[in-house]
Amino acid sequence: MAWSLIPDRVYSSIYDIDTEALAEAGVRLMLADLDNTIAPYSVSKPSEAVRTWTDSLRNSGIDLFILSNNRSAWRTHDYCTMLGVPYITHAGKPKIAAFRRAMEQMGRTPAETVMVGDQIFTDVAGAKNAGILILLVRPIRLDNPFRALRYAAEQPFRALGRKRNRA
Ligand SMILES: [Mg+2]
């Protein structure tokens, strides 16, 4: 078992994350995956719910920064511009370069930063490589056979992460 693939916390969605508690623990920056974490793949405009969530993060003193592996630069650009948050697209997760660049741009240390994402082999592995806390959410939609298969392969790591929730 690769321990570096086990998430620190597992949630049903971004809305279940206790952002106030994170802020109290000194978190000031949330790096977030875009596709299937914040929005479904097909959605190009932030929903009202995402806008409200982003505002509440901001109000608790945590900046949001999108770290996406999406190769379509315009989609990430349009979405993040509408949401009013900085981003890196084509981020190359799980490599740590983009994680480091985001923290540097925002002037934050790994200890002040968390990552939220929906995939084990990119989001979890990348955050672990970068030395930051990783919060895993369930993918918003599994309407594609490849994604469903990958999700199945991720189950052992999700299960172990859920055990950590209780620790
Ligand atoms: Mg994703």
Nearest CA among 132, 136, 113 for reference residue 33: 136
Q: What is the pLDDT of residue 48?
A: 98
Phi-psi label, residue 131: left if phi above 0, alpha if psi -120 to 50, beta otherwise:
left
pLDDT digit string, tens, across residues 4-57: 899 999 999 999 999 999 999 999 999 999 999 999 998 999 999 999 999 999
How far is ligand 1, taken at its centre, from the CA of residue 38, in Å?
8
How far is ligand 1, taken at its centre, from the CA of residue 155, in Å?
15
Q: pTM for the whole thing? A: 0.95
Residue 167, pLDDT above cutoff 80: no
pLDDT band at 82 (very low <50, low <70, confident <90, very high): very high
Q: What is the pLDDT of residue 59?
A: 96
Residue 166, pLDDT above cutoff 70: yes
How far is ligand 1, taken at its centre, from the CA of residue 127, in Å?
13
Q: Are 91 and 67 in contact (CB under 8 A)?
A: yes
Q: What is the pLDDT of residue 1?
A: 55
Q: Average the pLDDT over 91-102 and give the result.
A: 97
Q: What is the pLDDT of residue 165?
A: 86
pLDDT band at 71 (very low <50, low <70, confident <90, very high): confident
How far is ligand 1, taken at its centre, from the CA of residue 92, in Å?
12
Tokens coding 79: 């979405």
pLDDT digit string, tens, across residues 117-160: 999 999 999 999 999 999 999 999 998 899 999 999 999 999 99
How far is ligand 1, taken at its centre, from the CA of residue 36, in Å?
5
DSSP of 80-146: HHHHT--EESS--TTSSHHHHHHHHHHT--GGGEEEEES-IIIIIHHHHHHT-EEEEE--S---SHH
In whole angstroms, give the CA distance from residue 104 to residue 145.
37
How far is ligand 1, taken at its centre, from the CA of residue 136, in Å?
10
How far is ligand 1, taken at its centre, from the CA of residue 35, in Å?
4
